[in-house]
Amino acid sequence: MLGNFSYCNPTKLYFGKDSLNNLGGELANYGKNILLVYGGGSIKKSGLYDEIVNILKENGKNIFELPGVMPNPTVEKLYEGCKIAKENDIDLILSVGGGSVCDYSKAVSVSAYCNEDPWDKYYLRMEDVDNKIIPVGCVLTMVGTGSEMNGGAVITNHDTKLKIGHVFGENVFPKFAILNPELTYTLPKYQMVAGFFDIMSHILEQYFSDEDDNTSDYIMEGLLKSLIHSSKIAVENPTDYEARSNIMWVATWALNTLVAKGKTTDWMVHMIGQSIGAYTDATHGMTLSAISIPYYRYIMPYGLAKFKRYAINVWGVDTKGKTDEEIANEGLNAMEKYMNEIGLVMNIKDLGVTEDMLDGIADGSFIMDGGYKVLNHDDIVKILKQSM
């Protein structure tokens, strides 16, 4: 049965090859001072930087730059951004990049006018925003996180070995997001497939909870089928527009809050993956792929009916003459085969994890209680060992 919920997603999307043409119109809604936030230089190489700067100039904006947002943005970088945003009286943060740049922009948007340490307030104490929020607009260059249409902002603190996501409310969602699938063509294959698995994990971690007949589960099965189909095509031909555009659209719906409405969710793969990220700074999607098969095999007995449904509805497993357990296992086997085929990292050693880190990674994994099995420290260590 669906629980009670409210639903509102205020982000305006512009999708397609010509979507950047809408940036000028959006800029008219904001004041003159624009903070242009981007990463390590991919947008300069691709020429997107020049295009954006031209649009900003044509629209009479003052441009303040905040480059160098690293994958898995750090708390030190957050402090730097807050200072620049506040000192320059920024009217709009324009985020051009992947999930890290977009997450970071949202973190700066709520932190610039925060009177205390934003790490303590938002990440350790998980408090709501009660100060001025600078609006954020996004031009997305990498798909996976769903950050373009949600309130998530993940920040890493290397000193304390914690990587934490705060899921802010609708007032922090990007005001607009420009989604041109062609802007993702230049992604290296490693990043591309990591993004594909990030999407898959977002869907699975909302799917594997509850046993009810739930509309969200049917939506997620459809999203998964589209993702699996299109990702195989994209791996063969990264410039296949149809595949890349379908994947971009799936990514947005996988984590723009819709499919979680009215149901419980799991999220333990992300909690463990983020802790691995805090220790290794590894690529987000790969921290998820490296533990997923051991994780799902571990929890399968506790949610067998759903794993059977997943095997049949998503992977087309033939049920004739098989027990529920055999069917469910075949589904996970099919998933594992697919993951190997598209080139994902399948063990945490390849991400730099060593035996002596396992306890710390387990300690740094926040325990969520919405999945089929509530894990304890020892469960997490066992899953990590099986992921080595």
Where along the sequence are the contacts to ligand NZQ (CB under 6 A)? 39-43, 71-72, 97-101, 103, 141-142, 144-147, 150, 152, 154, 165, 183-184, 186-187, 191, 195, 198, 255, 270, 284-285
142: partner contacted, choices Zn ion, ligand NZQ, none (Cβ within 5-8 A by kind): ligand NZQ
Nearer to ligand NZQ, 286 or 332 (CB): 286
Closest CB 237 distance from ligand NZQ, rounded Å: 17
d(CA 75, CA 94): 20
Closest CB 202 distance from Zn ion, rounded Å: 6
Nearer to ligand NZQ, 187 or 328 (CB): 187
What are all long-range contacts of 75-83, with beta carbons under 8 Å and residues at least 24 apart?
75/119, 75/123, 75/155, 75/156, 75/157, 77/104, 78/104, 78/107, 78/108, 78/111, 78/118, 78/119, 78/155, 81/35, 81/37, 81/107, 81/108, 81/111, 81/112, 82/108, 82/111, 82/112, 82/114, 82/118
Closest CB 154 distance from Zn ion, rounded Å: 8
Where are any strands of DSSP class E within the chain?
12-15, 33-38, 62-66, 92-97, 136-140, 152-157, 162-167, 176-179
314: partner contacted, choices ligand NZQ, Zn ion, none (Cβ within 5-8 A by kind): none
d(CA 104, CA 202): 19
Closest CB 286 distance from Zn ion, rounded Å: 11
d(CA 273, CA 271): 5
Site string for Zn ion, 186-225 (x = CB under 5 A): ------------x---------------------------
Nearer to Zn ion, 103 or 198 (CB): 198
Closest CB 216 distance from ligand NZQ, rounded Å: 17
Nearer to ligand NZQ, 40 or 262 (CB): 40
Alpha carbon 20 to its chain centroid, in Å, reads 22
Residue type at position 267: W
Closest CB 53 distance from Zn ion, rounded Å: 30
Interface ranges with Zn ion (CB under 5 A): 198
